[in-house]
Structure 1
Amino acid sequence: MAHIIHADLDAFYATVEQLDNPELRGKPVLVGGRPESRGVVATASYEARPFGVHSAMPMRTAVRLCPQGIIVRPRFNRYREMSRLVMDVFRDFTEIVEPLSLDEAYLDISEAVNEAEGRWPLGVALELKRRVKEETGLTVSVGVSASKYVSKIASDLQKPDGLVVVPSGDETGFLAPLAVGKLWGIGPKTAERLNAEGVETIGDLASKPTDWFARVFGQRAESVRLRAAGQDNEPVHTERVTKSVSSETTFPDDIGDTEELHRVLDELASGVSGSLEGKGLQGRTVTVKMRLADFTTFSRQSTLPRPSNDVDPIRELAWRLLSAELTAGRTFRLLGVGVSNFSDGEEERQLPLTLEGDFSAVRREWWLPETTPLP
């Protein structure tokens, strides 16, 4: 029988800041950019949330709702460091860990559970929470069930520092009274449409006939129907085929200074190069992702003459791509660098001293303006 945990660190960025600076403890902390430069809230502490503040909210709005809030600029290197410590704790319980982001992961604890010897899912979850708290100072909300998506829903119900265990076989009863919007794949607009048809809860949804699902959800009908019934057999994935390696950062304040952009790009390219080397990969296609101050998001990409994981050619090509987009008055709120199109290892690893390529044929991909939470 499968036993799967979804573990989600509570208000991760804000909690790290409160741990590192005792003066912030017990106070409303807003991690993100400055309101005067169209900053966005990355994470709000639980002291700020009763005022209506949430992640991805413009900082200007957050300050209006919570004028006593303390704005703290993000420190992503510190958050990555703390995330590694937490993931190390997770791997003490099981090697089957699927990180979803810096602050959440799935764990398959089936091998750690042995009811005959008194090791129950609840006991494993309690020990996991205790270890994370003692070794990092962070609190983690945990959901436990036989499936990934039920565990994810469960972990969100009693935040912060929550723990919800759904016994095997009780999934349908657990889901039935919850709002239909809690179900994976049901966004706000779909939930509103379902509510208009009298479908308020997941139980209401599960009771609908098969032909109704086909009419409402089309190709997604069967997957939505099974999830509403509490049926999901997706395993916890520890390895995935790597199609690209990338790194990006969202700035707390918009950046238009060329030297600062060059510094950030250099750091991103170095990180990607190190990841490629660690994975034993060499790629040819370099992509630079950019998001402007108005949230317009687009990418530019071009190809190296030969596969590489060396930082110099990756950085040089990335800078050429970014340089072409630097115009007077244009400022950026996000920058990312990625490498893809990996070699099968048969090509000789040899790069010329200078880069070549037709930059007039750079691929262009555009997205409509959007509001996206910080990573």
Structure 2
Amino acid sequence: SQKKNNNKRIMLIITFLVVLMRQAQSFEARPANDLLLRAAAGEKDLDQIPVWLFRQAGRHMPEYRAYKEKTGKHFLQLLEDPYDVAEVTMQPLRRYNVDAAILFSDILVVPQAVGVQVDMPGGKGIVVPDPIRDSRKAQYAAAMARHDPEWLVARELRHVTRAIAEIRTAQLKENRDTTLLGFSAAPWTLLFYTVGASSRDFEPALDFLKQFPDASRDLLEAYGILVEAYCAAQVEAGAHAIQIFEAMGASLNAQLFEQWALPFLLDLGKNLKRKFPHLPLLVFARGVADSDAVNAQLAQVFDVISIDTAADPKAARSHIGSELCLQGNFDPTLLVSNDEDSLRSQVSDMLTAFNAPHSPLIANLGEGLAGKENPSLVSTFVDAVHDFSS
């Protein structure tokens, strides 16, 4: 109808104006603390080794729990409000001397944009109550993602890009001007959850690949297109770098990962680099089989390779070489109960194994904080990294 066409034209004009505004913002000066960006570019022997933590905002922090209680909101509800997102993102910057903020969000906001319902029933965490189970629904979701991904992001995920602008405003206002990381999951991880698989049950995803290989490929390609648009919108809103998580790499053996995950992950990185040649791209293929071979391929595209707790830092450095930036890989269970002297020694051992600071490194964890960590030990970890290099 004429009214529908007019509405679409109006939305396109609004989207165009928003993109122009974001692009203007994206050319702002580097953050005052640009240690992470310098390490990502391959700089060695920095005055301090940059450090941040996967899931640094959230459940382990008493101020986060207090904020949830004050607002009466659960996790997904917080994500819908840019001001809540900015507040929670800033909390670890106020408590810890970290060198980066990372957008407080969730990987499943991307499937939500193509109509996949995400819920958070009490005590069960995040679930997908009505997953895609057949090729018809998969092809419909893929068609949505392909049709006009920039418009879809502007319509369905504008709360995320608004949150990034709010975070940058808060960083500058509070004089905590560090690197701001945007992020997304990689296509395979998105498909994994979209079809009803979970960290406890891989079978729905593996069965979907076997039953619907053409629809699987179509959805993976479409998710790659949508994630590219989503990450671009984050950069245009003010993010300085992008972290890509292939969180469910462990669900595939080496052959299946090579077929169903790696090509789409590499294409995503290449496409983002074509769009933003100087954008630092960080990647974390967690738990993958034959991680050395996978990371060697990822290193051809991405600027920073993250390694998990199972990896040996010394071996990872040997395989990747001395020029590319690595990220990782401290065991977060050591931040639950530990003594300060032991913790500092463990940090020193890890950094030495990485050949830091003589090879580029971003100190981090080998997996995300789970919620039971002691904030005092987290603070000691961050300070120990900085003390080591200074």
TM over 0.5: no
Q: Which has the larger radius of gyration?
A: 1
Tell me which of the two structures has the higher relative contact order, counting C-alpha pairs closer than 8 angstroms and 6 or more residues apart.
Answer: 2
The alignment's TM-score, normalised by the length of structure 1, stands at 0.25
| TM-score normalised by the chain length of structure 2 | 0.24
Q: Which has the higher helix share?
A: 2
